[in-house]
Amino acid sequence: MRQTWRWFGPVDKVTLRDARQAGVEGIVTALHHVRTGEVWSKEEIAKRQAEVRGTGAAPTGLDWEVVESIPISESIKTQTGDWRTHVENWKQSLRHLHEAGLRTICYNFMPVLDWTRTDLAWEVANGAKAMRFDLPDFAAFDIHVLKRKGAAGSFPEAVVEEAARRYAGMSEARQKQIAQNVTAGLPGAMESWSLEELRAQLATYDGISEEQLRGHFVDFLSEVVPVAEELGMRLCCHPDDPPFPLLGLPRIMSTEAQYRAVLDAVDSPANGVTLCSGSLGARPDNDLPGMAERLGPKIHFVHLRNVRRDTEETPCSFFEDDHLAGHTDMVALVAALMKEEARRRAEGRADAEIPMRPDHGQDILNDAERGSQPGYPAIGRLKGLAELRGVMAALKATAA
């Protein structure tokens, strides 16, 4: 697999020099400063490419290889307001990216919130800091801080009781911290929500079922996938994170069956999957090595990370574990992906090498001193990449 590294632009505390020293082959980034719904201009794309490549006496030896992500507006997801204009702008952004030589576009279709965590620096047994989703803490936020109508009905009775107990002993500072963590938005994005703004956004989904949201997604794909196919580009949808409903919102990309429904509805080589082992791994019923085999031809991008679930129920609490720890058999998953690459080479596919990046990582050593994006430390990711690189080398040697 092609080893890439996520970079959040010039504001990222983890530099391109760090990425170069980590031994990666390419960069995953986006135009985080462009407002959702607007066109990515040729000039801004070229500027970001130049930033990645470096200039003059300081070339990085790296290039922008995967786009993560072109945001999809809430208007598109709910089919309200200027949604048709936003779809046209998304298509125009694809054309501009194609002109710049970019071919792989990761995105997601999660309503309102992107990835959701209650703790961004939860201490694990060895003293490292990890991101965590704690279900009772989230329920305490939903029921008692956000005060969403009917929130208690979204959780098992035991979780509701534990949430009430925790909220009773929760300081005002902790309440604010959880609210800030939950509403932080996608790493690198310009947008985050206040509680009032979050309530307003949730209201726009009143009456939208899972089936209706999937229908809106298929409508969107029916517009953008033909453009991508004509241009020889690959679109790959990131799964829900966590992969179960939150805040009363529907989730449509949490399981293999949900992926299959969307892939079958718009059947095209351009319509594909970002296989994120951490997001999907938060459900015990998601078989990651099996999904890699069965969805293999449509996997255009891979996020390799591992989570450890507190229970084998859905929903559940979990935290970001080491890349070779957690509940996903990472060796089996990487083996399945390398098998898919071999199959593609035998077919003569131009995209035989699948880009992957070590996703998330624990803050270890002096990572916390950098103040990097939550989940994206330099040393923690380097450790994960080294472990994954070792797995790939061992599997390659065994195959030989």
Catalytic residue among 137, 240, 359, 367: 359
303 carries an active-site annotation: yes
Which residue among 32, 86, 238, 300 is the active-site one? 238
Q: Any catalytic annotation for residue 106? A: no
323 labelled catalytic:
no
Label residues 123-144 b or e (16+ Cβ within 10 Å = b).
Answer: ebeeebbbbbbbbbbbbbbbbb
Q: Which of 144, 300, 303, 323 is catalytic?
A: 303
Instruction: State the catalytic residue, choosing from 167, 205, 259, 376.
Output: 376
- Residue 359 identity (one-letter amino acid): D
Active site residue 32: no
Per residue, the 3-state secondary structure of 120-168, as one string, reads EEEECCCCCEEEEECHHHHHHHHHHHCCCCCHHHHCCHHHHHHHHHHHH
Catalytic choice (276, 316, 363, 367): 276
For residue 298, give the amino acid letter: K
Amino acid letter, residue 210: E
Those residues with Cβ within 8 angstroms of residue 22's Cβ, 6 or more apart along the chain or in another chain:
5, 378, 381, 382, 385
Q: Tell me which of 32, 216, 323, 360 is the catalytic residue.
A: 360
For the question of residue 300 being annotated catalytic, the response is: no
User: Is 236 one of the catalytic residues?
Assistant: no
**Cα dist from 225 to 134, 213, 262, 265, 272, whole Å:** 36, 18, 12, 11, 10
- Residues noted as catalytic: 238, 276, 303, 359-360, 376
